[in-house]
Amino acid sequence: MKTLRHLFTLNILCLLLFCGADSAWALQSHSAPEGIYVHQMAHVLFMASLGYLYWHTRRTQELTSKGWIFLQLFCILLFSWNVIAFTGHEAFEHLTATDFIYKNTWQEQLVSPITFIKVLYYITKMDHFLMVPALAALAFSLRTFYLEARKGVQ
């Protein structure tokens, strides 16, 4: 219950941070940036849940087997992926069409000069370097659980 309250508070803070105050109607239309805001909030929520899962599995004495170590690694990696993804989305928001040449072609490039934002965007674009290992850790975790459980049953 306490955790839920914390998450709710965190969501409110995110809304205040990323959403500017605007006119309110009874039936409110959704303007263009809402999609990215919601998506970013989802990332935050996702991170929070992963952080919680990591924290809880670490503190629970019964969950100390090898499978849980892999799951905790998954939490860390996916949490990191969320950070990267969140950052990537933010970086993309700072880029304009002029920052790209040959856009939507196989020759697509980021035009010079290569600024920090452009580098940040470029690096975060390769977020799969975190996501794939995270899912691999999840697969290993589940495999370990399965093998242990099967051994226990036998």
Partner 1 sequence: MSGLSMIPAVSVEFIGSALAILLAFIALGYARALVKLQPNNFIWGFLWYFCIAMAAFSVSRGVGHIVRIILVYNDRGDVWQLLSPFSGGFNTMLMISVAAVTIYYHKGLDAYKAIRTEADKLAAANLQLAANAEELQKLNTNLEGIVEDRTRDLTQSETKFRNLFENSKDIVYFCDFNGNITSINSSGIQMLGFTEFPEKINFHKLFSNPDTLDTYLSEIRHKGFVSDLEMECTGRDHSIRYILLSANAIYSAKGDIVGYEGIGKDMTRLRNITEQLINHEKMASVGEMAAGIAHEINTPLGIILGYTQLMLDDFDSESELHENMQVIERQTKACRRIVSDLLKFSRQSESIKANINVNDIIKEVLSVTEHTLNINKILVVRQFDPHLPLVIGDAEKLHQVFINLFNNAQYAMSKGGQIIITTRQHEHEVHISVRDTGSGIAEEIKNRIFDPFFTTKEVGKGTGLGLSVTYGIIQEHGGTISVESPVDDPDTGLELRGTAFHILLPAHIENNSEQAV
Half-sphere exposure of 136 (CA within 13 A, CB side): 7
Q: Does 8 engage in binding with partner 1 (CB under 8 A)?
A: no
Q: Does 135 engage in binding with partner 1 (CB under 8 A)?
A: yes
Instruction: Say which DSSP state 103 is in.
Output: T
Q: Does 146 engage in binding with partner 1 (CB under 8 A)?
A: yes
Q: Which two tokens stand for residue 134?
A: 């995270």
Cβ 15 vs Cβ 41: under 8 Å: yes
| Residue 50 dihedral angles phi and psi, to the nearest 5° | -70, -40
Which part of the chain contacts partner 1 (CB under 8 A), choosing from 12-20, 21-29, 42-50, 90-98? 42-50
Q: How many CB atoms lie within 10 A of CB 61?
A: 5
Q: Does 122 engage in binding with partner 1 (CB under 8 A)?
A: yes
**Residue indicated by tokens 């700072």:** 94
User: What is the contact surface with partner 1 in residues (CB under 8 A)?
Assistant: 3-4, 7, 35, 38-39, 42-43, 45-46, 48-50, 52-53, 56, 60, 62, 100-101, 104-112, 114, 118, 122, 125-129, 131-132, 135-136, 138-139, 141-143, 145-146, 149-150, 153
